[in-house]
Structure 1
């Protein structure tokens, strides 16, 4: 990283302090999922001051694009919402060189970095840039603003490469696991529990499949030198109603986390085999596609060089999977310790904000 005081590192300003102040302003705007209008207004107003950006407001998502005709386009994205304030949070303040408060880590620190890049780096960057600030990320894939954009306005997300500023502690986490949730029904025959031999308990019909699924241990897959463990979990079993009736239907819910070298069809075929012939009404309730690491893309290669080997696989799913499904190689990289997200001790250091800013400034410089 360039030292903060070095020429070009922050344009002669106190970069960490500027980013901290901007993050504080964002944290002080309440923006629980579904209530992002005020923070979207704040972001939109700042972006519309920049005459070189084309700004679109789509609900409470804001997209800004430069169009200088440069050779490559880099998309940078972050979400505006926070989880509900169900856990007491620290007040929004600057304490011991860090910004605290709801969303400091996930992910208003990252949004502050994005806004400052728009205002101080995009105009002179070597690549054209798209900056996406979206809503409803914390409440499920179906309601996500990025999902809405990808379905209704995919042209706004076209880019050569993308970086999602999810908190990664300054590590580069390329790609992501896929996530597939399915439900399957097992049929029995109802009877009175005093005469169970007159019926067939659907839970007992489901037991062999449950045993196969719980015993299944998917392999670890290595891609681009990164180890992606896979997992299959039974996350729900529902059967019966009245306590004096043998249940005639049992529904099993599964969640498969799969490596980026596999497809939904391959994973679904594996699940069908594990569930066996007694499973009926197989239904995919969530399909979040995996994203390959794509570290050979020049933009992501450059970022991996800048983080000096701090590269690890992304365990879990993020919107880089949605971007990859649109043909955009993508990675996660942002300030803040992800283990502090959604908790009562959210805090992001000013130095972390500055380091993320400087790395991304160099990436978009070409």
Structure 2
């Protein structure tokens, strides 16, 4: 499934010790019908979890210094709407107006051990890349590399080769290297004067929340689970306090930090609370975080990228190691996400000096 990371920053350099997890924050699967130890998706919750560093860390930049220059129409972003790490790229792409410049492939949320598959497309092939499985793009770049097949991934369309699966850097580069292709009125998601503070906030959220829920969910020992779960809620309480009198995490506009927190919060009650046992309380029981998450959900570019059906089916049906029946929970009712949040009273300018993205095409 998902390359789930729940580690301190330097853990990203460690090799994977969990089930077919590749990349410090992506959903992954093995390309050989199982992970490197033969366990496949059933290994989740049965082996100690640790995320490995993204193996393909080339960058697509304005100057093309890694051999991959920013170019409209050249690259294809591959995501799963189930995956929080891939969802960051979906939100960034929408907010920045890169839909026409960077095409999108959406994988089936129910992957198998051969990797993410394009069964949502006619004939079971991605219509642009012409492949059935994402691992084909990985193989075109490097055969038999030591890792899983993860999303988000960016593929070079002319060659069919994977360019990068570095989920952390992908969204930063969309914000800072793809500026020539941004829509008029695109927000600055990584403003230079605030980058140090943004990085500090994101580091703690990544370690304890984004990755922390996976550490709890895939724990194999009681003490391991309890430590991770406490870290999750300790950080959530700190973030809640931070957001009492400010609308956004850093500054008065939406930044990369808000995107990274949102993609975990929007999954919290649907899967992390029950499936991953992060159940000290629900997101909806914290008035500040619940209002903050609804504020973002109702902001163009956020909620319109969310698919709760994909999220729930992926987590409950792929993680057979911790949910062997594959039964998908009925709740919670997603209607609450559209309830008034009242956060406008705190001020703030969602898009800074810019404007909202255009509505999603029907």
Tell me, yes or no, whether TM beats 0.5.
no
Give TM-score, length-normalised by structure 1: 0.24
Q: Quick one: higher RCO (CA 8 Å, sep 6+), 1 or 2?
A: 1
Higher helix share: 2
Of structures 1 and 2, the larger Rg is shown by 1
